[in-house]
Copies of this chain bind each other. A is one copy, B any other.
Amino acid sequence: MSKARAWAGQRVLVTGGLGFIGSSVTVRLAEAGAHVTVLDALLPEYGGNRYNVASVADRIQIVVGDVRDQPLVSSLVEGQDLVFHFAAQVSYLDSMQDPRLDLDISLKGTLNILEECRRVNPTVRVVSIGSRMQFGRVERLPVDESHSMKPQSFYALHKLTAEHYCRLYHEAFGLWTAWLRLSNPFGPRQQIKHSKYGIVNWFVRLALEGQPLTVFGDGAQARDYFYIDDAVEAFLAGAMHDGPGGEAFNIGGSEPISFKTMAETIAQVTGARVEYVPWPSAWKLVETGDYVTDIRKARRLLGWAPKVPFEDGIRRTVEYYRAAFDHYA
C-alpha cells in the first residue's frame, strides 16, 4: 500500500472502535471514505462510548461484541483490507487487581485477531497498539526501540507479549503487522469517568467542574504528552508504510513537558487553580520518573512526527469536553 493510496473504499475493522483512540481513528477513516466496521464490547468502566463516533454513525457499521469471541472475530476479519486492533483492558491499575481478566481480553483477544487473520484473511494488514509502559523503569532518555523491557504491571506485560505475537505472526506466518507503542496521548473522546489512566483528560474534567488541579511535589517529572490527532496520523502512517511488516515503533511527543507545565496550561486555558501538595508516600513508589520518546524510527520509516503544539491540543480538548461534557462525565 503506497503512501499516496487513498483510504476511500478501503475495508477496515477497528476493534475497540468506540474507545478513545479507536474512535478517533474510526472517525478519521470514515471521513476519508473508508468502509469501517467497529467492534466494541462497551464494557462498563472502559472507554467505549457511542457518542465518540456520532458524527460518522450513518457511515459505519457498529458491532457490539467481544474480541474474546473467536467465531465473531473470524467473521469480522474476513474480507477486510486492514485491521486496527485497539480493544484491550486499558488500566494498568485494574490489571493488578485482576490479571486473569487482563490476560483474557488483551492476550486472548489479540491472539484471536491474529490467528483468525492468518486462517481466513492472510493478506490483511494488522496494526496494533502498545504502550510506553512495556519498558518499565526507564534507564536512559529519550527511549528508543532498543531500550530493555521490564514491565511493572500485567497490563504492560501483556502488551509486551502481544507485541511478540505480532512479530511472530509476521516472522512465522508472513502476516503483515505493525505495533505502535504510545506514550501519553490526550484529547477528545477519552473517558473522563475516572482517573485510573489519562491524567491530562482527568485534569480537564476537574478544571471544567471548577475543581483545583493537584500537583505532587514540584511537578518537575517530564512526560511527552501528545495530541490525539497526532496519534491518529501515526496509526495511518503505520498502516500504510512500505516496510515488510513485523515492525514496532515508539510514538510520542517530540519534547518533554513537565507535569507542572501540563497542569498550569490547563489552568490557564480554563481558569482553574493548581494546588501543590507533598508527594503521598504510596504514590512516590509508583512514580516512574521522566519519560520522553525517541521518535527517530517513526520519523525515518513512517515519515511521522507530532505536529500539534501542546497548548493548542489542550485548547481543543477543553473546547470538546465543554461542548460535550454530559456525554462523558
- Residues of chain A touching chain B, judged by Cβ–Cβ distance below 8 Å, are 96, 99-100, 103, 107-108, 111-112, 115, 151-154, 157-158, 160-161, 164-165, 168, 171-172
Instruction: Give Cα A290–Cα B112 distance, bound, in whole angstroms.
Output: 34
Chain B's nearest CB lies how many Å from the CB of A191?
A: 25
Is the beta-carbon distance between B172 and A96 smaller than 8 angstroms? Answer: yes
Chain B's nearest CB lies how many Å from the CB of A70?
A: 8
For A154, the chain B residues whose CB sits under 8 A away are 165, 168
For A112, the chain B residues whose CB sits under 8 A away are 100
Closest chain B residue, CB of each to CB of A167: B150
User: Can you tell how many copies of this chain the complex includes?
Assistant: 2
For A108, the chain B residues whose CB sits under 8 A away are 100, 103
B100, B152, B160, B172: the one contacting A171 at CB < 8 Å is B152
Instruction: Give Cα A159–Cα B154 distance, bound, in whole angstroms.
Output: 15
For A111, the chain B residues whose CB sits under 8 A away are 99-100, 103
| Interchain Cβ contacts under 8 Å between A and B, 25 examples | A96-B172, A99-B111, A99-B165, A100-B108, A100-B111, A100-B112, A100-B115, A103-B107, A103-B111, A107-B107, A151-B164, A151-B168, A152-B171, A152-B172, A153-B168, A153-B172, A154-B165, A154-B168, A157-B161, A157-B164, A157-B165, A157-B168, A158-B161, A160-B161, A160-B164
Chain B's nearest CB lies how many Å from the CB of A115?
A: 6
For A165, the chain B residues whose CB sits under 8 A away are 99, 154, 157
Instruction: Give Cα A152–Cα B157 distance, bound, in whole angstroms.
Output: 18
For A164, the chain B residues whose CB sits under 8 A away are 151, 157, 160
Given A99-B165, A100-B111, 12 further pairs, Cβ under 8 A: A99-B111, A100-B108, A100-B115, A103-B108, A103-B111, A152-B171, A153-B168, A154-B168, A157-B161, A157-B165, A158-B161, A160-B161
For A171, the chain B residues whose CB sits under 8 A away are 152
Instruction: Give Cα A175–Cα B182 distance, bound, in whole angstroms.
Output: 31
For A96, the chain B residues whose CB sits under 8 A away are 172
Instruction: Give Cα A100–Cα B116 distance, bound, in whole angstroms.
Output: 11
